[in-house]
Amino acid sequence: MTLAKVPVALGDRSYEVLIGAGLLGGAGAHIAPLLKRPKVAIVSDAHVADLHLTTLTASLDAAGISHSNLSLPQGESTKSWPHLQEVVHWLLSEQIERNDIVIAFGGGVIGDLVGFAASILRRGVRFVQIPTSLLAQVDSSVGGKTGINAPHGKNLIGAFHQPSLVLADIAVLGTLTARDFLAGYGEVAKYGLLGDAGFFSWLEANGPALASGDEALRLEAVKRSVAMKAGIVARDETEQGERALLNLGHTFCHALEAATGYSGRLLHGEGVAIGCALAFETSARLGLCSQEAPSRVRAHLKDMKMKTDLSDIAGDLPDAEGLIALMMQDKKVSAGTLNFIMARDIGSAFVTADVDTAVLKSVLTDALATRA
């Protein structure tokens, strides 16, 4: 098995992201050296558990590690107070101690929820991320952002809590629906767009084959994405500066997710892709980048058969002013000013508070008009 290792350099909280096809079958051997006693608690979503839990538990058995599992309903609404309480109380009833390890086994929903539960359980226990969706492998499992949603908006309650290890098995991506895979690809494309034009060109050449199932290309895409995120997180763990670039497209995305009620109408990664296209369009209208840049972004998303435009979202949406009001709920609002991630070119994003609301409104008005 080709095994890639990406270090996340954070001093005494450093850890490795291991990436390979079939890694799940050897998870126990990778986790065993971290344990003070041979016992773990696994939290997964019910769908992932049905598909892949036996492979994980067999590997723990083979390594002599005892285990128990809690399966939660799949979907974004699981990232909530009631399920946080359920996880924490279950871990306490399982007598998970300060020195034990909790395993988050699933997509970004499980990773965020379980990471947060681990951060508050007994004032903090260690956890291992075993991300099973493309989105979780390339993004949410790395970097230590954990949390749940509030009625006021997404991810508004949480903590920074770094995992002790991340195990990304490329083979489990094979059971994702095409829609979930492509949603995760939205975050992959984001890395090229924000900071690596060469990677974006590579994706333009290889994206369709990667989506069709080529594991070598999938491994390369996950490795490059994780390496980029690890570098940014190592330089700016708590988002005082550069880490904000990872939010390219997210201000638009969070407004669209709120407008669609965090429902199946729009998956997070789909919102990121549409948000990236809107961020490039806004950058072009502000004269920050050429008009070719947003055209190229949209061309690639369309080539991948991804949601690209507001017209790809079914059902009603608020008008431009309504969407801007939702954007103001974003965590990146500081003293009433919204910070945006804009771009000078593909691979060259930057943070700015200097986005004229009239331009923003015209971009959204035109984008909404395509829905007629």
User: Nearest approach, Cβ of 289 to ligand NAD (angstroms)?
Assistant: 24
83 catalytically annotated: no
By beta-carbon proximity to ligand NAD, the closer residue of 146 and 288 is 146
DSSP 74: S
Pick the catalytic residue from 79, 83, 224, 243. 243
Q: Which is nearer to ligand NAD, 20 or 269 (by Cβ)? A: 269
**Active-site residue among 30, 126, 154, 229?**
229
Residue 172 vs 258, nearer CB to ligand NAD: 172
Catalytic residue status for 123: yes
Active site residue 179: no
One of 83, 190, 254, 300 is an active-site residue; which one?
Answer: 254
Q: Catalytic annotation on 250?
A: yes
Given the rule CB under 6 A, which residues bind ligand NAD?
45, 47-48, 51, 74-76, 79, 106-110, 112, 132-133, 135-136, 139-140, 143, 145, 154-155, 172, 175-176, 180, 183, 268-269
Catalytic, 145? Answer yes
- Closer Cβ to ligand NAD, 69 or 155, answer by number: 155
Q: How far is the CB of 146 from ligand NAD (least distance, A)?
A: 6
**From the CB of 190, what's the least distance to ligand NAD, in Å?**
10
Nearer to ligand NAD, 38 or 75 (CB): 75
Give me the catalytic one of 52, 161, 268, 296. Answer: 268
Provide long-range contacts, Cβ within 8 A and 24+ apart, for 238-243.
238/160, 241/351, 243/143
Q: What is the nearest approach in angstroms of ligand NAD to the Cβ of residue 264?
A: 9
Give me the catalytic one of 67, 79, 145, 300. Answer: 145
Decide if 339 is catalytic: no
344 catalytic per annotation: no
Q: Active site includes 254? A: yes
Task: Report the catalytic residues.
Answer: 123, 145, 187, 229, 239, 243, 247, 250, 254, 268
